[in-house]
Amino acid sequence: MAIIIPVKLLHMPSIPLNKVLRHFSVLELFEFSQCSQKAAAAIKLTNTKNFKLELNFNLSYVRINDDFKFEVKKLRADEVENVTGFRTFEKNQNMIYMDSRNKMTCLWEDRFARLRTIFSHLSKLFGCPTYSVRSDASVPTHAFLLVMHEIISRQSEINVLEIACKSLQENNVKWILEKLTVTDELMLGEKLSEDFGKNNSIQFVAKSLFIFNAKWVTPQKLLSMRNCVAIELDGSLLTDQDIINFFENWKSGQYPNLEFLSIKSEKLTRDLVLPGALRIERDFGWSQPKIICGKQRYIHCDFQILAHNGTIGSVQLDELARDVQFMVS
């Protein structure tokens, strides 16, 4: 009969311990870290600094590597019967249950505060940068800003950032964008004054840019977004002449990476005429779907515009919605 001898992992030298821990899944690493402070410290031997950490306030979860999700639900009487144990986050014990091999549900009274606690705990445990933060207008400002402070203390770039919560001040938005360069996707949901973006070091370099309440976006500020791949402005005050000037700039090569543009403005009129544009018959104007910045886009082409380098762009004008959409072939 074989005798099973338990292996004392934490008594092993760092190199063989590292080799063992590298075979652990995200969940197994987390569970191992719950054993002791020494176990938690050993986690970083596995090069977890390359992990992908995501916080989603909208859907109430923190995710690691697209593999494992810690989801937070508000504690209710009908949820207690599901509880199978407790886990510790930032010295706070938390009731949990496993939904599947890939998701742990954590029950707490204050959902947003505990999302931040779990995010902070995992960020320190794995020592990895934050890949994305998604938010919306229901998120308390205090919870959102605590997360931003923590991220900015450790990194200067983030891939995906949605800036939206209950009542964020303009100086907070300015501080975040001056401290964090957003590389892939930036969503701005706050109401900002017309002076926003003046006399500061904010750079719009994200590949995909979505701005609600875009009244502050002037033609000059639109030109500062010239390196973006996709730009969407909702609620802007750009005029017919601003749109004409934009297309002249695009034709001359001022927006070399641009593949998609959408501008909704109450200032647009039915009299908008695009010089040099070729009108397309309505029945034949549907564009081919195109994946741009991870999203499938297509428009109904009312006009085609030719850039000086021979690139063709399709334009859709919705006079009722006061919306201009533009897609590069």
pLDDT score of 37: 92
Enumerate long-range contacts of 63-67, CB under 8 Å, 24 or more apart.
64/26, 64/122, 64/126, 65/26, 67/25, 67/26, 67/102
User: What does the pLDDT read at residue 10?
Assistant: 77
Pairing of strands 303-306, 312-318: antiparallel
pLDDT at 329: 83
The pLDDT, as a whole number, for residue 76 is 81
In this prediction, residue 82 carries a pLDDT of 86
Report DSSP state, residue 75: -
- Angle CA(129)–CA(131)–CA(66) in degrees, nearest 5? 110
What is the model's pLDDT at position 1? 58
Written as six digits, the tokens of 242 are 């601003």
Per-residue pLDDT of the chain (329 residues; tens, 9 = 90+): 566 666 677 777 888 888 888 889 999 999 999 999 999 999 988 889 999 999 999 999 999 999 999 999 988 877 888 899 999 999 889 999 998 889 999 998 888 999 999 999 999 999 999 999 999 999 999 999 999 999 999 999 999 999 999 889 999 999 999 999 999 999 999 888 888 877 666 789 999 999 999 999 999 999 999 999 999 999 999 999 999 999 999 999 999 999 999 999 999 998 888 888 888 866 665 667 889 999 999 888 888 999 999 999 999 988 777 899 999 98
End-to-end CA distance of the chain: 71
Residue 149: predicted pLDDT: 97
With beta carbons less than 8 A apart as the criterion, state whether 313 and 250 touch.
Answer: yes
Q: Which two tokens stand for residue 282?
A: 């309505």
